[in-house]
Structure 1
């Protein structure tokens, strides 16, 4: 009878731990920025599951530690050694098979998310006795309503839309799949939009395509997640998700009334250093030639007016 009560109590404690773990996993959704794409929903669901699993393991370990401290403490005058631990084949199989299955399931979910993004240009096939590796592209790219070219360079984002519209802001139609063609002109950059749950490296000399489906209208922020130079922290721009009608109107307005913009990093470079002792030396002037050369190679492009 005592064993039955112990099993019932253990089942109740496990049920409580599962309930608390599930609640903590649901709270994990609030730790993230708002979901702005369909892919972000899949990422958050996986993250919530991992938080629930981690919370359940933590509660189980802490519970066993507290149980041992409360009911199996040695007496103050007891200096004898504990009983030697005996191995259990069932337990060994359990904590070997269970984590293996969990890791395989997580890997399968990650593959499904990457398939949904339809990232192209990353698969590398290395052949022996070749001077350079060959890269394989998918023969069946995922269809997309829009295609936008993303050009990253120190320290600027440039976007080329259909009808030869160019801008320093990224505009996306809501509830429509958009293919982004990521290109880097100089060094490795990182395309990172937290609300999209998307962080993709952009490698010079390689076109990397991915498909995103925005689901939430709003204004978001694109950042460079890779250290691409001294002023890489200023390499940011706005991302607007809007209705298809507003998106088409924006394209028409930009095509008719372009506005010249300047790179804010160049102005930052020209600022004199803030030091306690004035030496008259301005390191920003040393980069003036480089800045002018960059402006000549990559002239300012039209930026949209606020609608």
Structure 2
């Protein structure tokens, strides 16, 4: 009778753990910003699955400890050692095969997401002795509707569109694939749009391309996910996802009316900080030196 009760309790516990894990997995969708790309949907689905699996493992471990404390407690006067555990081939196969299959499935999902992003410029084959770098033959460009050049420098984002018009705003047509060609001038930057579930490092001297397919019209925020120097937190840009007609109209207007090229980070550095006490720790000279350095670099190039 006691065995039947134990089995019933274990069955009920597993059912409750599965329900709670599934519920937590569904709640994980609300922990992120709204999905704005097709790639974000797959990322959120994978994240939800990982949350559910993690919750089930956690509840299972806690449940086993509680179960052992309730049904396998030693008597108060029992100081003998427990019997040595005997290996179970079936159990060992189970806890070896199950995690292996789970990890392989997660890896397959990650590969699928990366293939959807179609990231180019990362796969590199190094031959010995070292020769000029060659890229893997699998780096084949995916057909896209638009190609936009993204340039990161100290400390601002620049975007160049197919008609060679430049802007500090990133505009993307909705429900169409766009290839972003990422380039960094001097230091490593990070292209990060939370709503896109997209974060890609930008390495100087390398042209890294990735494909993004926006699915939600709206305004989003591009941030630099890598520390690239003082005032790098000001390195932000607006991202607009809009219908094709509005996108074409904006591109046409941009060609007629070039965008403002003010570098707000340098402008911020050139002003003295407003403080209650005069400390003498000014940032104006730093801003002037940065601006002078940029001018010299442009002149040399």
TM-score, length of structure 1 as denominator length: 0.90
Q: Structure 1 CA distance, aligned partners of 2:168 and 2:276?
A: 37
Q: Does 1:111 align with 2:111?
A: yes
CA drift of 1:164 comes to 1.4
Q: Does 1:19 align with 2:19?
A: yes
Q: Mind listing any 5+ residue stretches in structure 1 that lack a counterpart?
A: 300-307
**1:172-220 Cα distance to aligned partner (Å, 9 max, x none):** 0100000111111111111000100000011111111111100001111
The equivalent of 1:305 in structure 2 is none
CA gap of 1:193–1:298, structure 2 versus 1, over 3 A, is: farther
Q: Structure 1 CA distance, aligned partners of 2:2 and 2:261?
A: 79
CA contact (8 A) 1:170 1:238 kept: yes
The equivalent of 2:41 in structure 1 is 41
CA drift of 1:163 comes to 1.1
State which drifts further: 282-291 or 110-119.
282-291
The equivalent of 1:135 in structure 2 is 135
State which drifts further: 170-179 or 265-274.
265-274
Q: Structure 2 CA distance, aligned partners of 1:74 and 1:194?
A: 53
CA gap of 1:298–1:73, structure 2 versus 1, over 3 A, is: farther
Question: Does the residue aligned with 1:163 lie in a helix, a strand or coil?
Answer: coil
Q: How many residues align?
A: 299
Q: Does 1:148 align with 2:148?
A: yes
Question: Does the residue aligned with 2:176 lie in a helix, a strand or coil?
Answer: coil
CA contact (8 A) 1:123 1:137 kept: no
State which drifts further: 228-237 or 277-286.
277-286
Map 1:91-240 to 2 at 5 A: 91-136=91-136, 138=138, 140-240=140-240
State which drifts further: 90-99 or 71-80.
71-80
CA contact (8 A) 1:120 1:137 kept: no
The equivalent of 2:53 in structure 1 is 53
Question: Does the residue aligned with 1:129 lie in a helix, a strand or coil?
Answer: coil
CA contact (8 A) 2:188 2:203 kept: yes
CA gap of 1:13–1:281, structure 2 versus 1, over 3 A, is: closer
CA contact (8 A) 1:146 1:177 kept: yes
Q: Structure 2 CA distance, aligned partners of 1:86 and 1:37?
A: 52
Question: Does the residue aligned with 2:163 lie in a helix, a strand or coil?
Answer: helix
Q: Structure 2 CA distance, aligned partners of 1:59 and 1:282?
A: 55
Q: Structure 1 CA distance, aligned partners of 2:75 and 2:298?
A: 78
**1:93-137 Cα distance to aligned partner (Å, 9 max, x none):** 111111111111100100000000000110010100125533336
CA gap of 1:136–1:205, structure 2 versus 1, over 3 A, is: farther
TM-score, length of structure 2 as denominator length: 0.91
CA gap of 1:5–1:76, structure 2 versus 1, over 3 A, is: closer
Q: Structure 1 CA distance, aligned partners of 2:224 and 2:137?
A: 25
CA contact (8 A) 2:167 2:259 kept: no
- Root-mean-square deviation (CA, aligned residues, Å) is 2.2
Q: Structure 2 CA distance, aligned partners of 1:117 and 1:132?
A: 26
State which drifts further: 227-236 or 25-34.
227-236
CA contact (8 A) 1:39 1:213 kept: yes
State which drifts further: 2-11 or 109-118.
2-11
**1:271-296 Cα distance to aligned partner (Å, 9 max, x none):** 33567763545343144133134257
The equivalent of 1:30 in structure 2 is 30
